[in-house]
A and B are shown apart, each in its own frame.
Chain A
Amino acid sequence: MWNKKKEDEYAPRPATAPSTTSTTPPREGVPVSSTPARSHEPRIGSGEATMGKAVMVKGQIFSREDLVLDGELEGTVELQDHRLTIGPNGKLQASVKAREIIVLGSILGNVEATDKIDIRKDAKLIGDIKTARIVIEDGAYFKGNIDIMRPEVKPEPARVQAAAPPPASPPSPPPSLGPPAFPAPPAAAPSPAQTAVQGKR
């Protein structure tokens, strides 16, 4: 009897039934997220972790994948080379460091984004910002210092190129490598500062 019930609960659903748009009320016992559906809702297997709005954390968070925080946090958050999203219900009293930070909720603390920070409408950020790029929507509240980090130009690649034999034009990968087995990741859009440096050269 118990086994039968378990089988019912965990029976695979038809692939065509969309779980988020279903109109049937959720069954008792089935975990349902209290977070409203949003564009940054976590997708299983997408490498994005989520802390829901009913969660409160005091301490440090280190993550090696993208993270969505929609609850309350007091402490520090550090995401090496990943994106942090503070959801609309997110309230952070923390110092934050990530590659990219999207703020829809509120942060009280200093923020460092190695690539970009995006402060959306109705977001609130009180603290100093260090970032390479910043986007502030109208309606966002910000109080603090903004320091734009300029990417340092490394002369090493130029020297290597100068030492190497002149490449054929247009430059192509070495023939020994062959065609790439996987599609190459999309190249990041150059920041205005980078563009300026290239323009000077």
Chain B
Amino acid sequence: MFRERWKSVLGGSATGESSPRDAAALMSVDSSIRNGAPFSRQSRALDQFFAPLRDRAGLSLLDFAGASQETVSYITGLGHRLYSEDYLRSLDQAFGDGDFFANQSQPGRMEEFMKGSLDFPSGHFAGALAWDALQFMASPLLESAVERLYDILHPNSYLFAIFHADERMHQVPLHHYRVQDAQTLLITPRGHRQQAQFFNNRRLEKLFDKFQSVKFFLTRDSLREVIVRR
């Protein structure tokens, strides 16, 4: 039963029944991660994120990765607007002096960060690409940010986020994510970084408790892609 469940989650190819082609692709990804070279891979979660956005135009999307040519071209090519900000850089600017995670619990700094980076009207965005930024936020900043995301997202819209799935890792690989097309991510490794906490499925369900649904996609590179419906 578990095998079947994981098969559906993994796209039916990484449960011990992978084809030689899949194995080659996986080896290529592993090699790229080791070498720090950019690589691309399919993402079913991304596909689900863009599914309701393909037949509409003129919507606003939020991108936490910072502007990149690929993401901007794809999203604006669909006819949407894009608000772009490198949230990891903003986190570093707001809390980077001293203890990064301890600073995140200071009310004054939290307020300043929220005002500078997540101050949008309610229901302004039709989708948010949070990428891996949320896993570097500690409580209570994380909960405030998710609460704010809930507010600025339009009902029935999606939030896409990525969390590392390996509990043993303290320093997790850091990536820069770009959208190549609706199903393909272009990923550039950019070192390692300590995450605020480990996020398992239960923790994530609790974090996005207010949202309608949470869906997980476990990827080959030990990532948990999460699609949350507002």
Question: Do A and B bind?
Answer: yes
Residues of chain A touching chain B, judged by Cβ–Cβ distance below 8 Å, are 119, 134-138, 140-148, 150, 192
When chains A and B are docked, how far (Å) is the Cα of A138 from the Cα of B176? 11
Residues of B within 8 A of A142 (CB): 66-67, 84
When chains A and B are docked, how far (Å) is the Cα of A142 from the Cα of B90? 11
Whether the Cβ atoms of B77 and A192 lie closer than 8 Å is: yes
Expressed in whole angstroms, the minimum distance between the Cβ of A136 and any Cβ of chain B is 5
Expressed in whole angstroms, the minimum distance between the Cβ of B18 and any Cβ of chain A is 33
Whether the Cβ atoms of B72 and A146 lie closer than 8 Å is: yes
Residues of B within 8 A of A135 (CB): 69
Expressed in whole angstroms, the minimum distance between the Cβ of B106 and any Cβ of chain A is 23
Whether the Cβ atoms of A143 and B81 lie closer than 8 Å is: no
Whether the Cβ atoms of A146 and B82 lie closer than 8 Å is: yes
Residues A134 and B72 in contact in the complex (CB < 8 Å), given A140-B67, A142-B84, A143-B84: yes
Whether the Cβ atoms of B81 and A136 lie closer than 8 Å is: no
Whether the Cβ atoms of A144 and B83 lie closer than 8 Å is: yes
When chains A and B are docked, how far (Å) is the Cα of A194 from the Cα of B77? 12
Residues A136 and B69 in contact in the complex (CB < 8 Å), given A148-B76, A192-B77: yes
Residues of A within 8 A of B81 (CB): 145-148
CB closest chain-A residue, reference B176: A138
Whether the Cβ atoms of B68 and A141 lie closer than 8 Å is: no
When chains A and B are docked, how far (Å) is the Cα of A37 from the Cα of B67? 29
When chains A and B are docked, how far (Å) is the Cα of A136 from the Cα of B176? 15
Whether the Cβ atoms of A145 and B83 lie closer than 8 Å is: yes
When chains A and B are docked, how far (Å) is the Cα of A135 from the Cα of B170? 37
Q: Mark B80-98 against chain A: 1 for CB-CB distance below 8 A, else 0.
A: 0111111001100000000
Residues of B within 8 A of A192 (CB): 77
**Residues 147-186 (chain B) with a chain A CB within 8 angstroms:** none
When chains A and B are docked, how far (Å) is the Cα of A143 from the Cα of B60? 15
Whether the Cβ atoms of A143 and B72 lie closer than 8 Å is: no
Closest 10 pairs between A and B when the two form their complex, measured CB to CB: A142-B67, A148-B76, A143-B85, A146-B82, A147-B81, A145-B83, A136-B69, A136-B67, A142-B84, A146-B72
Residues of B within 8 A of A146 (CB): 67, 72, 76, 81-84
When chains A and B are docked, how far (Å) is the Cα of A148 from the Cα of B82? 9
When chains A and B are docked, how far (Å) is the Cα of A5 from the Cα of B95? 62
Residues A141 and B77 in contact in the complex (CB < 8 Å), given A136-B67, A136-B68, A146-B67: no
Tell me which of B67, B86, B89 has the highest count of chain A C-beta atoms within 10 A of its own C-beta. B67
Q: A138-B69, A143-B86 are in contact. List 20 more A-B contacts (CB 8 A).
A: A134-B76, A136-B67, A138-B68, A140-B67, A141-B66, A141-B86, A141-B89, A143-B84, A143-B85, A143-B90, A145-B81, A145-B84, A146-B67, A146-B76, A146-B84, A147-B81, A148-B76, A148-B81, A150-B79, A192-B77
